[in-house]
Amino acid sequence: MDALDNADAVRFKEALLVIASRLGTLMEALSGRAEEMKDVPTMAFTHIQPAEITTIGYRLSQTLQDLADDADDLLSVISSIRGKGMKGAVGTAASYKVLLDGTGVSAEELENMVLDELGIKPFTAATQVYTRKQDLRIVSALSSIAATLHRFSLDMRILQSPPVGEVSEPFGKKQVGSSAMPFKRNPINNEKICSLSRIVESSYQAAWNNASLMILERTLDDSANRRIFIPEAFIALDEMLLTATKIVKGMSFHSEATRRLMENYGIFASTERLLMELGRRGADRQKMHETIREESLKAWALVQSGKDNPLRENLATDEEILRYIPHDEIIQLLDASDYTGDAEKRTEAVLERASAQIIRLKSAK
């Protein structure tokens, strides 16, 4: 097992470096899109319901931030990869000590010479194999990246679906959306990412079992399954990263859909700003809250039935509100396009960190 486990460690490190390069390329592409859209307002959704205002770039920065955290974990795993070393049947190196007796070379010195040649460090202690906690750490890093990509792709599928329709993945000129329904543009690439992520996620449980059920100096329970799930996790994640990069580079943002969402729902969020300004100018907050609430509920019902949102004009012509704020100021306060807080500033902070992470990923060894 000395030769096999040391070879596995070398292979896994090389494979992790491929993943690091792919991750860096994806983060680079995503950074470009987040920078491009950092100040473009859009509806945010909580509970998959319209909430307040965010920016498209800030939404993308959530994924970028998660990937930057994933990069930390991945780089940590790469730097800590170790081989079993040359330790024999139960890890004591007893056979090597006998073999090397009289040569002037110790078992530890032989181990260091072999592992230096392989370009990795050995574990200090081992059994018949290196600790399978290493496999668990590797798969955990892969699984974490897969979770980030799954969330991104699931969000993309929701944002591409009617009635949102705000963004869409690339769609080739000759691409067929459905053999039965020619009009369809199914988000097949994002669906593929969600599908493959389940393979990567399931590998974590197998790695956990192997690490926790390696009885005494070694059982063979891990041998067959790790030859399947570890390569599959790497292959699946590699395809996910390549596909995600293609999606990010080619995805389209539909400004008219964003405008429609803002027109129908953004005003509900901006009523908060109107209420605060009314209170600042001496209005009875409870009374104003009730007026805005009643008008908002009536407008929401109309929007849900497919009609235009009348809330802006209804509030701007309300006699009680007009006692404190003139019509044109009310209209301005109800414009949600600048009600994005410090989303742009925070996006820029994420981009700065991501830039440093991309350099580390590209130069990892």
* Catalytic residue numbers, as ranges: 47, 178
Prior bond of 182 cis (ω within 30°): no
- Note whether 354 and 64 are within 8 A (CB): yes
- Note whether 79 and 71 are within 8 A (CB): no
Q: How far is CA 251 from CA 23, 147, 149, 270, in A?
A: 18, 20, 15, 29
The amino acid at residue 68 is: A
182/298 Cα distance (integer angstroms)? 39
Q: How far is CA 82 from CA 21, 66, 220, 323, 356, in A?
A: 21, 27, 21, 74, 26
218/93 Cα distance (integer angstroms)? 15
211/214 Cα distance (integer angstroms)? 6
Q: Which pair of structure tokens corresponds to residue 218?
A: 């070694």
The amino acid at residue 64 is: L
Cα–Cα–Cα angle for 85, 4, 23, rounded to 5 degrees: 90
Query: Residue 334 has what DSSP assignment?
Result: T
83/358 Cα distance (integer angstroms)? 27
